[in-house]
Amino acid sequence: MRIAVVGATGMVGRVMLQVLEERNFPITEIIPVASERSIGKTIEYKEKEYKIVSMQDAVEMRPDIAIFSAGGETSKQWAPKFAEVGTTVIDNSSAWRMDPNCPLIVPEINADILTTNDKIIANPNCSTIQLVMVLNPLHKKYGIKRVVVSTYQSVTGTGKDAVEQLNGEIEGRDVAKVYPYQIFKNALPHCDVFDEETGYTKEELKLTREPRKIMRVEEMNITATAVRVPVQGGHSESVNIEFENDFDLGEVRKLLAEQEGVIVQDNPDTNTYPMAFYSEGKDDVFVGRIRRDLSQPNALNCWIVADNLRKGAATNAVQIAEYLVKHKLVG
């Protein structure tokens, strides 16, 4: 099993290599791919050094799987070229997510739709993944009418330069600004760029569109507000869910506890609830503050947290690769 990691030197790419190693993914050869300035340098994987190669060289090596985390434009240009030589691409950018010919996959929810013909597979947006991990089991039981989600997103979702901006501001250093304002001691209601037609940001539109495709529920009503906060690791979400049918809170907690990849942390008596601080470095999605919406019948409030670099990106991509190998859809 020959695996290319495209964007291997980036923040998500490094975590992908770490997750592949931690989960002991069956690799015979790792092919790290990065930008022109990194070609010829080396990365370490399982105590061995591997030389970073160019995109064209990686295509010519015909890996079984290529996991992309190199941005949408790069993916649009190069993912089809890998697919043409028989490589299955798992792409972490937004380039292919809403393409009707490309499956958008969270393995615990919809990996069953994958076939050997799927050569470009989209990894969902980080905040979408943790959201649908909670929504899906509840929708199956009660039927969701409407979702209102407000996110509190880590600077790691923007990348290394954003982390440097936050740390520089904390330390009082003069640093280049990735955001239009300081992020330290601030909260920016501005994740990604604004869509001129709707006034929503692209991040907010991803949250409204992607869950419908993943959960195969085209009519579900979702609205979102995405906020960047001075946190370094872990996205948090305040979620209000209105159901078609009434629910029992004990049953809700049981359904979520039984969902693979979800951990319920919900005990006000002991101040037990999910926090970004504790999610960092973990692969699970954490949910708590589960309570009825007192203003609306058949409605629920909850708080969802996950490490956006792991389950929100790298781990989910590696889980897709594991599913492909297990079900003999590649190689």
Concerning whether 191 is annotated as a catalytic residue, the answer is: no
Residue 69 assigned as binding residue:
no
**Contact 243/255 with Cβ under 8 angstroms?**
no
Residue 253 assigned as binding residue:
no
Quote the strand ranges of the chain, DSSP E.
2-6, 29-33, 42-45, 48-51, 65-68, 88-91, 120-122, 144-153, 221-228, 235-243, 262-264, 285-292, 299-306
Signed CA dihedral, 267, 268, 274, 276: sign only: negative
Q: For the chain, what percent of residues have pLDDT higher than 70?
A: 100
Residue 275 assigned as binding residue:
no
pLDDT in tens, 32-43: 999 888 999 999
pLDDT in tens, 80-118: 999 999 999 999 999 999 999 999 999 999 999 999 999
Query: With bands split at pLDDT 50, 70 and 90, how would you rate the model's confidence at 286?
Result: very high
Q: Which residues contact 295 (CB under 8 A, 6 or more apart)?
A: none
pLDDT, mean of residues 170-188: 97
The pLDDT score that the predictor gives to residue 36 is 87
Q: Fill in the amino acid letter for 60.
A: E
Which tokens belong to 311?
A: 């389950």
Which tokens belong to 16?
A: 């992908």
Concerning whether 235 is annotated as a catalytic residue, the answer is: yes
Residue 203 clears pLDDT 80, i.e. is over it? yes
Set 102, 126, 191, 302: catalytic member:
126
pLDDT, mean of residues 152-156: 97
Q: Fill in the amino acid letter for 252.
A: V
The pLDDT score that the predictor gives to residue 218 is 86
Residue 219 clears pLDDT 90, i.e. is over it? no
Residue 232 assigned as binding residue:
no
Three-class SS of residue 80? helix
pLDDT, mean of residues 9-25: 95
Q: Which strand (E) or helix (H) includes residue 317?
A: helix 315-326
pLDDT in tens, 230-265: 999 899 999 999 999 999 999 999 999 999 999 999
Residue 11 assigned as binding residue:
yes
Residue 308 assigned as binding residue:
yes
Residue 93 region, left (φ>0) first, then alpha (ψ -120 to 50), else beta? beta
**Contact 32/6 with Cβ under 8 angstroms?**
no
Which residue ranges form the domains of the chain, and what is each CATH number?
A: 2-124+313-326 (3.40.50.720), 127-308 (3.30.360.10)
Q: Which residues contact 101 (CB under 8 A, 6 or more apart)?
A: none
Reading across the β-sheet that carries 29-33, which strands appear in turn? Answer: 29-33, 2-6, 65-68, 88-91, 120-122
- What separation, in Å, do the N-terminal and C-terminal C-alpha atoms of the chain show? 7
Set 102, 139, 191, 235: catalytic member:
235
What is the distance between the alpha carbons of residues 26 and 29, in angstroms, rounded to a whole number? Answer: 9
